[in-house]
């Protein structure tokens, strides 16, 4: 087995934890390669370096050290290869990055012993038709259309399966996967879904009327978002990355992708336990 290493070196914990962990891996005879951005930090210790977007092609499992933001950037990098990802949480809430620094070696022994599951997480495929130019994006958590630099309420027309559904007035809309339900959508009042289930959340951001509530639909449905023909400078955001500014009348088609993201879940780590712990329920 060859491991691929990605790390957010902007976090002090990374600089204190990663070198000793990699020395420990080497003592076990585990081979690993690393994101070439880590070369000045790790020196000659990895077996090889590759650009982050090619790392998944050359390893069996990717270890992502950081927070959920690092996990999302890791997903973007290795998505085309469907390489399983195991996250080490050096951030805050850390729903995606499963292992804490305190349990790193213990959990990794479990991993080497095969005490883990590989879970398929659905992702969204969003095709943006912006001023007659099309581009397709993929998101593990969510795609968002928000008002960007616009200071007034915006209007978004939503259709499902080609049938008009609603016109939302407010600050924008979040289209979220079950995995993303504990992210931005949750902050906007959306429901929490079990991450491996199949469903899509349509969640308005600060709607002008309280009648506009989050809705969960089947994941086999296709959603179309059409922006107001009189308003420009709206922003299209994919997994927290601002991708492009939308022209008036832009259209975004969102659907479940045929691709999946493979996340490693350790035995004994149950979503409901993690959720209760993170949300501090019953404490």
Q: How far apart are CA 122 and CA 195, in angstroms?
A: 9
Per the residue annotation, which of 23, 35, 68, 228 is the catalytic one?
A: 68
Q: How many CB atoms lie within 10 A of CB 132?
A: 7
Name the burial class of residue 163, with classes exposed (0-12), middle (13-18) and buried (19+) by CB atoms within 10 angstroms of its CB. Answer: exposed
One-character DSSP codes across 171-225: SEEEEE-SGGGGTHHHHTTPPP--TTS--EEEEEES-SSTT---EEE-TT--EEE
Catalytic residue status for 68: yes
Q: How many CB atoms lie within 10 A of CB 19?
A: 14
CB 264 within 8 A of CB 108: no
Chain centre distance of CA 256: 14
Q: How many Cα neighbours within 13 Å face the side chain of 63?
A: 27
Q: Hey, what's the torsion of the CAs at 142, 68, 94, 214, to 10 degrees?
A: -10
Sequence-distant (6+) residues with CB within 8 A of 16 are none
Residues identified as active-site = 68
């Amino acid at each position: 087995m060859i491991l691929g290493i990605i790390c957010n070196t902007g976090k002090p914990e990374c600089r204190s934890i990663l070198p000793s962990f990699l020395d420990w891996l080497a003592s076990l005879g585990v081979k690993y390669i690393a994101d070439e951005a880590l070369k000045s930090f790790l020196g000659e210790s990895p077996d090889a370096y590759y650009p982050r977007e090619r790392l998944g092609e050359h390893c069996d499992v990717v270890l992502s050290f950081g927070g959920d933001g690092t996990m999302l950037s890791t997903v973007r990098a290795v998505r085309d290869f469907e390489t399983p990802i195991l996250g080490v949480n050096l951030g805050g809430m850390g729903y995606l990055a499963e292992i804490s620094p305190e349990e790193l070696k213990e959990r990794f022994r479990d991993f080497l012993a095969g005490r883990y599951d590989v879970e398929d997480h659905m992702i969204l495929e969003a095709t943006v038709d912006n001023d007659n130019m099309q581009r397709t994006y993929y998101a593990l958590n969510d795609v968002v259309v928000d008002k960007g630099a616009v200071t007034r309420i915006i209007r978004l027309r939503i259709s499902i399966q080609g049938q008009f559904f609603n016109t939302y007035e407010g600050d924008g809309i979040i289209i979220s996967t079950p995995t993303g339900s504990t992210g931005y959508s949750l902050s906007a009042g959306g429901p929490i879904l079990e991450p491996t289930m199949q469903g899509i959340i349509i969640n308005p951001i600060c709607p002008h009327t309280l009648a506009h509530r989050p809705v969960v639909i089947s994941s086999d449905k296709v959603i179309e978002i059409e922006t107001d023909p009189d308003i420009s400078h709206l922003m299209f955001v994919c997994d927290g990355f601002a991708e492009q500014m939308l022209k008036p009348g832009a259209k975004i088609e969102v659907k479940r992708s045929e691709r999946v993201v493979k996340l490693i879940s350790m035995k004994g780590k149950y979503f409901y336990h993690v959720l209760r712990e993170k949300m501090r329920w019953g404490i």
